[in-house]
Amino acid sequence: MFLWVLVCWLLFCCLPAIQVICGTHLPGTVVPRKTVPYNDDTMTLFRVDDVQNYSSMLLREDLGLLLLGAREAVYALDMRNISHKKTEVQWSVTHDEQVDCTNKGKNSHDCWNYIRVLHALKDGKMYVCGTNAFSPACNFMTYEEGKLSLQNKKEDGKGKCPFDPHQRYASLMVDDVLYSATTMNFLGSEPVLLRSFSTTTLRTEFKATWLNEPRFISMEEVPESQGSTVGDDDKVYLFFNEVAVEYDFYSKLTVSRVARVCKGDMGGQRTLQKKWTSFLKARLDCPVLQPSLPFLLQDVFLWRDSDWRKSVFYAVFTSQSGSADLSAVCAYNVEDVSQIFSKEKFKTPVAVETSHNKWVMYSGELPVPRPGACIDDTARQQGIRSSLDLPDKVLQFVQTRPLMDPAAQPLSGGPLLVKRGALVTRIAVVSVAALDGQNYTVMFIGTDNGFVEKAVNYNGETFIIEEIQLFSQPVPIEVLRLSVTTGYLYASSSYGAAQVPLSTCGRYRSCIDCVLARDPYCAWDVNESSCTTLAPSQSLQTGNLIQSVKDADASQCPNPGPVERENVTFTMGSSVKLSCRRGSNQAVVHWLRDNQLLNRSSGGYMYDDGLLIPKASAATAGQYECQSVESPKGRKYYTTLAVYQLLKEGEGEKLTPPQPEAQAQGHRLLTLWVVVGVLSTALGVLLVWNLYHGHFCLPGCTCTRNPPSSPCRATPAQMYLAPEGASGVTLLPDPNSNNNHCEVTFGGSAQVPSSYSAKHCSLVLQYIDDESEI
């Protein structure tokens, strides 16, 4: 029993180290391969002193501008260098508006005009909205002759822009028609999905069955009329979180939703006048831990294919449990989500004895045409040309039953990525052609501590290429946009805006580092001896380029040249620091002294940045080599990072360089040292424990099983390990003790201090050659 407990303890303690050595990680602990600090030279930052909340962004590639909305200002920045501000326009609130806002009980910090909505119109103008001291307002903006200007067309922004500068909302401009999801009143108690600038303004019902305390996330348009054989209509999809009405729970349970409406919806004739007749919603599921509370949606990005049926919604989720720091990325096929609304069953409320309704699957006959469906060829053949012609029974059905029974399930049945640590906030996705001719989806994921992670999924395995710190302060990423035209990713937060390249191949200085990055943007050019960004025309030209994104195979890399040795002179008794930083978070660093592996007991302290030798002596001199070992897919790749020659002060001669054979032998002994160390520790603990408890008696000494005064037992306080250099493992009694105790020697001869008298008995474990001796 003791042996089993000991083994379990060893596994529990050593498992994290074994996982690091083997390059594997527990589920939910995917580690970025590289961490790029804030001061990296590939990054560009924009911020203005005393200006906060850069919470809206619009890319105008036709003008080469990035429009950035902040507190009481809109900035026009150069898309290729956002630190270059071309122009700006101020939009401030009046003193009376600020006073009125604070008199209503709002914090003075929030009683400014925070720009939250920025959209481009067909005529080149822009539509901009701000919170305007909790009284939302909108206006039109132009960019002419290098100058931004607000037109004198200020209008009410209720239902188009949130009142609260910290409130989540969703907004979309399609064919100069504005779709917005926010609140209609000062208190935020009337959520709405609103369509403006159309011949018919439509909104949702103020009912909990439609929207129940929602937190709006994102909105996307899908051109489902393209290629449709039934004359279908385009759709607008809305993503949000809300309190579920269909679950009996001891408290409010929040779930994630996807809803959709038809672009051609005109509302009802009598029922649902100026209301959506096509509003349907379904639960959005991202199963991470079972059982657990549902993970909640934070952002959605629509990756568009030329065929909308192959387009994919990429969504990021976080745990709603305050004790869990888990985040996940799930992907949903657009056609699968569309099929839920067009073909699956509805939920319906039924009265029960309690005061609450219970929601169950509706199994009755559906009215014709199908409730919530867009007007298609079948409906037109029945004389229904628009939603105004829909029968009341169809409208009454969708008015009381907008919820679908099944939930939208992710591709492959589960998340693409589960990670611990900083929670995810935003996501942007781009497709990249690699050297093998395949297209891979690269995900840029923003976090709540100001980092962006670059990740790719290879055959079900998600690999985080790098994480980049965008801001000096740990602020959440609020907006992510990318431009394939410029090749940059743009992010904003309350602190400022940042710009980073989509590909940073120059960051990898060796062939192994470049290939193991597994970045579909990058390949090692053998001729140029550099990591280069692939051009689209190079995707099928393997020639002098090396890349292995799926297999992480760097065996084709040429042998690197020797690392230049650096001489370090030290004085006796001084501290010596040797610098060596690993190039990958997934690598393990080893130090060798004169081709022999250093361990923790070698007199030096190993840490992330190098090796510290606190008290240098004559034995400190020698050659020190820092090696990085990375083990993707079970293969080991060794990289020499630094070589130092330590010389005592006054010595000028250089030692002979190490032979390659001895260096290779040190590599092979690494694994053996680890295994022998763990097994020796386990055996020693087990033997000492049995001796201490008297579970067996040693040959050559007479002792009883239990008496604590037995001369052949030593208490832990009376034992000490023999000094280094002694043969075997020796347990000696404390010289200061007056009791008679035994020396226990495992093989070899013990070094007994001279203070021991003859009354100390000597117990030696010897091999028994004759079984009769047992």
Give the sheet arrangement for strand 312-318, strand by strand. Answer: 296-303, 312-318, 326-333, 417-420
CA neighbor of 442 nearest in space, from 408, 466, 469: 466
Please check whether residue 146 is in contact with residue 139, taking contact to mean a CB–CB distance below 8 angstroms: no
- Give dist(CA 692, CA 688) in Å, integer: 6
- List the one residue out of 223, 215, 139, 207 whose CA is nearest residue 174: 223
Q: Give the pLDDT score at 149.
A: 96
Instruction: Report the C-alpha gap between 315 and 332 in whole angstroms.
Output: 8
Distance, in Å, from the CA atom of 658 to the CA atom of 592, rounded to the nearest integer, reads: 11
pLDDT in tens, 415-432: 999 999 999 999 999 999
3-state secondary structure of 192: strand
Q: Do residues 280 and 337 lie in contact, with contact meaning Cβ atoms separated by under 8 Å? A: no
So what's the pLDDT on residue 728? 38
Side by side, which strands form the sheet with 254-262? 215-222, 235-243, 254-262, 280-283
Residues 6+ apart with CB under 8 A from 17: none
| Domains of the chain with bracketed CATH | 31-46+441-561 (3.30.1680.10), 565-672 (2.60.40.10), 693-773 (no CATH)
Which residues in the chain come in under a pLDDT of 70?
Answer: 1-29, 323, 353-356, 537-542, 601, 651-678, 680, 685, 687-774
CA-wise closest residue to 465 among 529, 552, 590 = 552
pLDDT reported for residue 552: 95
Quote the pLDDT of residue 609.
Answer: 86
B/e letters for 112-125, b = 16+ CB within 10 Å, e = fewer, are: bbbbbbbbbeeeeb
Give the model's pLDDT for residue 729. 36
Task: Provide φ and ψ at 323, rounded to 5°.
Answer: -90, -5
Q: 670 phi and psi, to 5 degrees?
A: -60, -50
Whether 506 and 91 have beta carbons less than 8 Å apart is answered as no
pLDDT at position 685 is: 66
Q: Using CA atoms, how far apart are residues 389 and 383, in angstroms rounded to an integer?
A: 8
Q: Running DSSP on this structure, what letter comes out for residue 136?
A: -
Quick one: tokens of 104? 């209503």
Under 8 Å between Cβ of 68 and 53? no
464, 480 Cβ separation under 8 angstroms = no
Q: Is the bond leading into 291 cis (omega within 30 degrees of zero)?
A: yes
Segment holding 8, helix H or strand E: helix 2-22
SS3 state of residue 688: helix
For the entire predicted model, the pTM comes to: 0.80
CA distance 518 to 548: 6
Give which of 721, 698, 699, 711 is closest to 742, Cα–Cα: 711
339 three-state secondary structure? helix
Q: What is the enclosing helix (H) or strand (E) of 733?
A: strand 729-733
Asked if 406 and 282 count as a contact pair (C-beta separation under 8 A), the reply is yes
C-alpha distances (whole Å) from 335 to each of 162, 305, 309, 590, 757 are 31, 12, 5, 51, 89
Closest by CA to 150, choosing from 76, 261, 62, is 76
Mapped to the 3 state alphabet, what secondary structure does 499-552 carry? EEECCCHHHCCCHHHHHHCCCCCEEEECCCCEEEECCHHHCCCCCCEECCCCCC
